[in-house]
Amino acid sequence: MNFWQNLKQNKKHLFCLAPMADVTDCAFRKLITKYGKPDVFWTEFVSADGLAHPKAREKLLIDLKYEKNEHPIVAQIFGANPENIREASKLCKSLGFDGIDINMGCPDKTIEKQGSGACMIKNPELAKEIIRSAKEGGGGLPISVKTRVGYNKVDMDWIRTLLAEDLAALTVHLRTRKEMSLVPAQWDLMRDVIKIRDEMNKDTIIIGNGDVVDIDDASRKCEEYGCDGAMLGRAIFGNPWLFRKGTKKEISLKERLSVMVEHTKLFEEMLVNPPAGGKNFSIMKKHYKAYCNGFAGAKELRMKLMDTQNASEVEILVKEFLTNI
């Protein structure tokens, strides 16, 4: 029995953290694990073409870095070459991941030019081949897909195509590729997805995605629309406590800014200065707008943070700010 079915037997609803490029990296996931762990983690999405190439792989392995207490964790890959998907899946299996997810919903034009991401919606035959290659390479690991409800319009035949491949799980972002995130997610469509799954007599776990603001909202959506779980994405910005279980407590400004410093230190340690070389410190700065929001002096602090070059400078700024309020 794969880990998805084990989770489903033990939990009423599954709450997952969405994979977001240059956001849900290993440093942020380590922080989230400490303050409120989701039921399932995903890595950032990684190019299967790159992972299948001996030299390119070396630079990409940092995106597949994770720690033992992050299990269950799913490696998310993308690509339009079945052989490279197969090889990348073999690698993910060897790295100890609990599952493999194929991104078939990303609207980024660079990804789509490769025939990947949301472009897969327009090429269902290739999508089927990609899923089968991942199964072959994954050697028994559960294979899942994250996608949208259609490309230019809602397309439930696309959902049928995916479910016919006996996926372990299917995450459905309830917007089309054309809609991006410019309109509210169409959660009413989840009922159609569930109906199709049940009519096809599949065991695929269905996870809804789009405009989920917190765990209470996720629970309500699961109850109302009948999905097995919900995926939360943007709600995690500045809020590593999002998945925390138990009694809620108000997070003080001091705690929020202290955790921002902790996050920055982890990012620097794990991703900027690892032995193999890593990422640019500026990537961390996209989090500062979320952490520094809704209090007096937030804008000024945020502007200063955008000029920092390392974690030490961030810590000094925060200490000065907290001393003066």
d(CA 78, CA 101): 8
Total Cβ atoms within 10 A of residue 238:
20
Contact 44, 19 (CB under 8 A): yes
Q: In residues, how long is the chain?
A: 325
Residues with Cβ < 8 Å from 199, sequence gap 6 or more?
A: none
Q: Which of 26, 92, 106, 119 is catalytic?
A: 106
Q: Which of 56, 108, 124 is closest to 87 using CA atoms?
A: 56
Contact 145, 116 (CB under 8 A): no
Q: Which of 131, 132, 147 is closest to 206 using CA atoms?
A: 147
Residue in this structure with the two tokens 């990947």, named with its chain if needed: 116
d(CA 239, CA 292): 11
Q: Residue 268: helix, strand or coil by DSSP?
A: helix
26 carries an active-site annotation: no
Total Cβ atoms within 10 A of residue 30:
21
DSSP string, 115-180: T-GGGGGG-HHHHHHHHHHHHHHHTT--EEEEEESBSSSB-HHHHHHHHTT--SEEEEESS-TTTT
Active site residues: 106
